[in-house]
Amino acid sequence: MHIFSKSFTQQEPIPEAAIEAAVAVMRSGRLHRYNLAEGERGETALLEQEFADSLGVPYCLACASGGYAMQIALRAAGLQFGDKVLCNAFTLSPVPGSIHGAGGVPVLVDIQDDSTVDVDDLRRAAEESGARFFLLSHMRGHIGDMQAIVAACNELDIVLIEDCAHTMGASWKGQPSGTFGKIGCFSTQTYKHLNSGEGGLLTTDDPEIMRRAVILSGSYMLYDRHLAAPGADSFGDVRLQTPNCSGRMDNLRAAVLRPQLAEMPDRRERWNRLYRVLEEGFGQEKSVVLIPRPPEEGFVGSSIQFRLPELSRERIAAFIAGCERRSIPLKWYGQHEPEDYTSRYDSWRYLGNTRSVPNTEKMLATLCDLRIPLTFDEEDCRAIARLIIEALQESE
């Protein structure tokens, strides 16, 4: 039996230019984002400016993590303690966690077979709950029909916030993911598209939301040191009425990120080449149902998902075990106990009673997920596809 030899959790090294920039920050001693020499703009403010430019939006705030960006996004959008917040039932645990952390109450919305949000159920959930916010995860990089989602939110008077942890660099009909809602939230955690260990980015074109987000992130009265925020003279009462919920990014992480941001278009291309090799390999097997990639979607294939709708639980469990024996850590969302990053909505017990989401239940029962690190090449992906198909046939 062949065994795959590379690690699915090994990322590429940090680019040399980023290492040099990080060393320069350390030599300066000025790691805090507001600790600037005369005339210096600082790595964090420059990262914000560059990220805002890459999306074509005026404002960007760098902060401690993607989950933190979502928390302050909700608060900056006007969430009050106890307010309901819609979120797709298929997401990762930091999403309901950030709603909870911001004082909101998550309301689950069902998904379709293509893993994106079910807009009809979004309408039902909004009407039943009276929620005024929707934190939409583009889960595993699959983007729903953004025209339909935005239209429903506008009609229902819902503030749309996008969780773009898996869609940095992605687009829908040419428009960057994160620019459809009022706010876009991104993560620069090691397993996402840029790697600073931990980190988050929030973007918006709304000056009032941005002023609140800047103060919330812990700017003290130093908001004039931002380059992608509204003018300092516009902060008026906001600076006194907004709590400081300390969660800034520092210059060291921003220095590590800036050269990586410039590589994003190239990374996207490399990821998609690997994705297409896996997709083609899995497509050989009739029982494997891939998630469609509509032409409107400019995706970044940093992970791949497929369903096995005709297979029993026992058969899927045997298949996953066969993948493990080949050193392929295929994740299965149908597992009853949460494992690694695949916890599912029914393991978030603190939510209490939730709406029923039958299609999510059905989908997750047979959904498999595989990370695609850029340390793999096309030959690795061909080998992975072969080994996975072998494990599938063996489990028969």
Segment lying near ligand PLP (by CB under 6 A), choices 19-27, 34-42, 163-171, 255-263? 163-171
200 with 173: CB under 8 angstroms?
Answer: no
Interface with ligand PLP, residue 281, by CB under 6 A:
no
* Residue closer to ligand PLP, measured from CB, 122 or 202: 202
Identify which of residues 65 and 203 has a Cβ nearer to ligand PLP in the complex: 65
Contact 300, 273 (CB under 8 A): no
Tell me: does residue 67 bind ligand PLP (CB under 6 A). yes
Regarding 189 and contact with ligand PLP (CB under 6 A), the answer is yes
Contact string (CB under 6 A) for ligand PLP, positions 198-227, x = contact: --x---------------------------
**Shortest distance, position 309 Cβ to ligand PLP, whole Å:** 24
* Angle (CA) 76 191 244, round 5°: 25
Q: Is residue 162 involved in binding ligand PLP (CB under 6 A)? A: no
Per-residue contact track with ligand PLP, 331 to 350, x per CB under 6 A? --------------------
Q: Give the up-direction half-sphere exposure of residue 294: CA atoms within 13 A in the CB hemisphere.
A: 14
Q: Residue 338, Cα to own-chain centre: how many angstroms?
A: 19
- Closest to ligand PLP by CB, 342 vs 395, is 342
In whole angstroms, the minimum distance from the beta carbon of 188 to ligand PLP comes to 7
Query: Which residue among 63, 73, 165, 300 contacts ligand PLP (CB under 6 A)?
Result: 165
250 binds ligand PLP (CB under 6 A): no
Separation between Cα atoms, residue 154 and residue 383, nearest integer Å: 46
The four Cα atoms 325, 329, 332, 333 give a dihedral, to 10 degrees, of: 160
96 binds ligand PLP (CB under 6 A): no
# residues near ligand PLP by CB under 6 A? 15
The answer to whether residues 390 and 282 touch, using CB atoms and an 8 Å cutoff, is no
Gap between the Cα atoms of 96 and 84, Å rounded: 11
Helix runs in 42-93, H state only: 43-55, 66-76
Angle at which helix 66-76 crosses helix 94-101, to 10 degrees, equals 40
Output the smallest distance, CB 203 to ligand PLP, in A. 15
Residue 136 contacts residue 87 (beta carbons within 8 Å): yes
Q: Of 93 and 287, which has the nearer Cβ to ligand PLP?
A: 93
Alpha-carbon distances, residue 210 vs 32, 140, 326 (angstroms): 20, 27, 48
Tokens coding 195: 């790697």
When binding is defined by CB under 6 A, the residue of 25, 42, 59, 94 that contacts ligand PLP is: 94
In this complex, which beta carbon is closest to ligand PLP, that of residue 371 or of residue 382?
371
**Chain contacts with ligand PLP (rule: CB under 6 A):** 65-67, 91-92, 94-95, 137, 139, 163, 165-166, 187, 189, 200
